[in-house]
Structure 1
């Protein structure tokens, strides 16, 4: 059963490139593993390429960022998104494959939303890609419900004392996406440029979008 808990209180690693190669150490390891599995007949190269293409172009945080950017510039779409996110994203030609229902929750100066899955790691991967490792960790799943402000502090997020933190618990049937507040000084920006401000963590509630001065002019 989906639900929320109201609380009134108040990474990517970089690897040096191998000499003479543009691939990182991790990429080289992945390539080697792919080669071994393909040679042993465990992996169909065509199927592997299809999976990689899907995650690079059809699934990932950039898809959710497009949804957020549209909501920032289109009031009617934002209303529809809050009312029924599953139907709203279908209007954008996005097909929801995970969970029966998607719910969008809006951050405001009065309320900050966070997403967790206390039972396992249910996550809207069709919009946000694969969940980060910390989202699936026991400490995050347990502490977010009990002490959300402390968890936010661990992520470097501080909120005014008057801002309420609301935690939403995902299930196999219901997933959530946070609609973060639009950064200041972005009036007149295109959807594409606005989408570049949206981070994965801002759509989970453990981060903010980038500031306007953090993207190229």
Structure 2
């Protein structure tokens, strides 16, 4: 007797992801949802809508010194002034990278994440290996993301909580002088606002 293998194996998924996959499969088979539409929605919130909000915050801080100062003092209010507030973004703190210090954000207890400026959290951000190793070996974790920092650059790890979430303001790359905010925002990636990456170089 042959077995029907026209299904996904969920053994590698955590329980919640497995439940979501099962529900999606049932709804798809009943013709109630289109998997492509779901994928498009998730992709939008993971990489476009949320991160673009944060990118605009960073771009304004790069180009407006008074806004950057406000962002340092009261990130929640400064971000809200641009229209970005809401779920998991009620209490924010901005941390600025410098030539001497690189900031990295993690949530060791769960996966607190500023949805209003970064969208949905990436899978790796919620994974136990990242949540534990980012604190113990941040330099090694960054290298796994392809980011090797100078040995003399301090890495500061910020642990998000239900009460406070962080936004990393990456260093403005050289070569983007005179750019307007919309163009600058194109250089800001989601990972650079978590601290696992840098802003893009203008040539990229």
Q: TM-score, normalised by structure 1?
A: 0.74
Map of 1:87 onto structure 2: 77
Map of 1:162 onto structure 2: 152
Map of 1:97 onto structure 2: 87
CA distance in 2, matches of 1:76, 1:41: 53
CA distance in 2, matches of 1:132, 1:209: 18
> 1:153-192 CA deviation, whole Å, 9 max, x = no partner?
1011111121110000001111101000000011100111
Q: State the structure with bigger RCO (CA 8 A, min sep 6), 1 or 2.
A: 1
Map of 1:193 onto structure 2: 183
Deviation of the 1:59 alpha carbon:
3.9
Map of 2:112 onto structure 1: 122
Deviation of the 1:71 alpha carbon:
0.3
User: Is the Cα–Cα contact under 8 Å of residues 99 and 172 in structure 1 kept in the other structure?
Assistant: no
User: Unaligned 5+ residue runs, structure 2?
Assistant: 1-22
Q: How many residues align?
A: 181
Map of 2:101 onto structure 1: 111
Pick the aligned partner of 1:65 from 55, 61, 68: 55
User: Is the Cα–Cα contact under 8 Å of residues 128 and 200 in structure 1 kept in the other structure?
Assistant: yes
User: Is the Cα–Cα contact under 8 Å of residues 99 and 173 in structure 1 kept in the other structure?
Assistant: no
Map of 1:132 onto structure 2: 122
CA distance in 2, matches of 1:132, 1:187: 31
More deviation, 114-123/54-63: 54-63
Map of 1:208 onto structure 2: 198
Q: TM-score, normalised by structure 2?
A: 0.78
User: Is the Cα–Cα contact under 8 Å of residues 89 and 117 in structure 2 kept in the other structure?
Assistant: no
Pick the aligned partner of 1:76 from 49, 66, 70: 66
User: Unaligned 5+ residue runs, structure 1?
Assistant: 1-32
CA distance in 2, matches of 1:87, 1:183: 26
Deviation of the 1:36 alpha carbon:
6.9
> Quick one: structure 1 residues 209 and 58, their matched pair in 2 at CA, closer, same or farther if it must change by over 3 Å?
closer
